[in-house]
Each structure stands twice: as C-alpha cells, then as structure tokens.
Amino acid sequence: MTALTTLSTLQRSLSMRETVSRTDQALQKAQKEMTTGLRQDVYAETGFRAAQSLDMRNRMERIDSFAVNNQLLAGKISVMSDQLGHIRTSVQEFLANALSLSGGGEGAAAVAREAGALISAISTQLNTAYAGEFLFSGMATGSASVTGTGQLATLSTLPAGAGTAEITAERERLNAWYGLSGDPQDAPYTRTVFGGSTAGLQSAQIDEYSRLDYGVSANDPAIRQIFKGLSMFANTGYDGAASPLDRTAWIEDAMAALSGGVSGLQAHEAGLGNQQSLLEGATQRQKNLSTIYNNRVVEIEGVDGYEAATRFEQLSAQLEASYKVTVRLQSLSLLNFL
C-alpha cells in the first residue's frame, strides 16, 4: 500500500514565506549593487582580497586628509605672499616719494607723516589672520604678530641741530633696538613689539614622507629693516642737522634700511612661490595615488553592471511569480468545489 506524505498548510505557508523573503533580500542586494556598482558584502564574496580593499581605502583616507590640510596650507601661503607683496609695493612707493620730498622743510614733515601712516598700515598687514591663525607670528599662531607699533613713529629721539656724534649714536641705538646689530633675540623690538614665537617658522606635514617649513616671521630682518627706516624718517630732527653731510648720512642710512627690507621681501616672495610649487607637486601626486587606489578598490569591490541588472530582472520575475502563487493559494477554498 502506497504511503502518502502529508504537508501541513502552516508548514507550506511558512516555507513559501521563507522563499519569498530570501528572494526579496536577494532582489534588494541586486538593486543596491546595480545602483552603487559595488558588492554589498565584500568580505563574504571576495575573501582575502577584501583586506587589500580595506588597505586601499585606508590609504585613500590618509591622502584625503593630506589634501584637506594642503588646501588650507596653500591658502595661507597665498595670503602671506599677497601681504608681503602689498608691503613691498608700499615701501617702494614711499621710497620714491621720500627721494622727492626729503629736501627739507615741509617736505621732510610730509615724509614723516607718511612714514607714520605706513608703520600703521604695515602693522595691520602683519597681523593678518587666516583660518583663525596669525600668519606672521611664527609657531605662535594664536598671538598677534606685532603689538604696540605706535611707538615706532616716535622711537627716534634725534634732536634738531644734532651734530655728527649725536647722529652716529642715534643710528647705532636704532640698529641695536631693532636687533640689526648684536643678538636680535635680546633686542627691544623682539621683546616689546614682536608678539610671535622666535622658536622658528611654521611647519606642516604635506604627505607621509615630507614636511614643509613655510612662511615669514614679523621678526624677520627684512621687516625690522623696514620699520627702522620708517622710524628714522618719522622724526624730522634730521632735517635740522648741524651739517648737511650728517643730514645726508641719516637719509642714506634710512633709505638703505628700506631698500634692504624690500630686497629681503622679494627674496621671501620667491621662497613662498617655491613652497607653493612644492605643495602643488605634492597635491598632484596625491591625486594620482588616490586615483590608483580607487581603481584598485573598484576592481575588488565592483560588480558587473550588466550582470547585476540581469540578476535584478530575474529576481523581480521570480518574486512576482511567488506573489502570484501565494495569492492563488490563499484564494483556494474547499467551498469553491462543493
């Protein structure tokens, strides 16, 4: 006698539900892979190659971090260069005016007023901040680069009618005050005006293997020379020097200081340009590496778009058929046949 194996309605329903659930999950997986172009479960499907993909992604994250920092650094260096260029241009224009106006009398007074105004303008430019950091303060980016520069316009105490000895002594005093003779670390300018750090310039890691020292300090000799020259022109005492030769010596010393400062700024602008080039080179290398790593990740994690679309269509049809069967079974009733 043949034995009949029976299957309860509940068990059949649960089995059908499980089949539909698995098909639905597979359909969602295919849809996601078709949309993203990447495998949904890389570790399950690629085995040990998933570790390679993870390593590539970690490298890309590090490169992205450098890219963000380098973009900020490029902005800082660009603003530094612009500000130094503005200072240099202003001093060059002042030099041209000083040559024509320092002939004595009202001309010397006009030069003095212009020198005082330029000291104030340069101070403002040196206190430029970018992304919350003062650019010309060296490593102490949280401190203003220069403070109390108003005193520089009245720093020279040369009296009218000064003789050779007095003029020579005052020139030497100004050199020492600005740290242009002797140790600049102990100079009054460094201790009372410069507000940054004397420990060195700023430094940034631009890639995994390279650091870039960059920037210019407001304590740089070029800046101190410019301030010294302006301080000398801000006091009209030289105009009444006892000897025309002494007066000429004072003016020539002031102009030499300003010219030396301009030359120093030009050198720094060129240096900042070189730093920008190094930074651009590092950024381009990082872009190239990021592309290589990304291609490697896609090679490991990527799925064939055509295959994913085909699988999606097949699963959609299968799920639709399952739903139809389920509805058909649910509509069956013994009463329909009585």
Mind giving me the DSSP string for 28-78? HHHHHHHHHSB-S-HHHHHTTHHHHHHHHHHHHHHHHHHHHHHHHHHHHHH
Least confident range from 40-54, 177-191, 303-317: namely: 303-317
206, 68 Cβ separation under 8 angstroms = no
Q: What average pLDDT is seen over the chain?
A: 83
Asked if the structure places residue 95 within a domain, the reply is: yes
212, 279 Cβ separation under 8 angstroms = yes
Residue 322: the pLDDT is 64
Asked if the structure places residue 92 within a domain, the reply is: yes
321 versus 156: which is more confidently predicted? 156
pTM of full prediction above 0.85: no
- Does position 251 have pLDDT exceeding 60, yes or no? yes
Residue 298: the pLDDT is 72
Asked if the structure places residue 46 within a domain, the reply is: no
User: CA angle, 208 as apex, 205 and 214 as ends, to 5°?
Assistant: 20
Asked if the structure places residue 47 within a domain, the reply is: no
Asked if the structure places residue 10 within a domain, the reply is: no
Domains held by the chain: number: 1
Closest CA to 225 of 275, 195, 268: 268
* Residue 202 phi, psi dihedral angles, 5° rounding: -75, 155
Least confident range from 47-61, 137-151, 255-269, 307-321: namely: 307-321
Query: Which residues make Cβ contacts (< 8 Å) with residue 250, sequence separation at least 6?
Result: 158, 167, 171, 232, 238, 241
The C-alpha torsion from 77 through 79 and 283 to 54, rounded to 10°, is 100
- Does position 53 have pLDDT exceeding 60, yes or no? yes
What band does 46 get if pLDDT is binned at 50, 70 and 90?
low
Asked if the structure places residue 16 within a domain, the reply is: no
Summarised one tens digit per residue, pLDDT across range 279-292 is 999 999 999 988 88
Average pLDDT over residues 77-106: 87
Summarised one tens digit per residue, pLDDT across range 122-162 is 999 999 999 999 999 999 999 999 999 999 999 998 888 88
**The CATH number of the domain where 264 resides is what?**
1.20.1330.10
Asked if the structure places residue 19 within a domain, the reply is: no
Task: Please report, rounded to a whole number, the percentage of residues in the chain having pLDDT higher than 90.
Answer: 50
- Does position 301 have pLDDT exceeding 80, yes or no? no
Q: How far is CA 174 from the centre of its chain?
A: 37
Summarised one tens digit per residue, pLDDT across range 99-121 is 776 555 568 888 999 999 999 99
Residue 99: the pLDDT is 79
Residues of the domain holding 287: 54-293
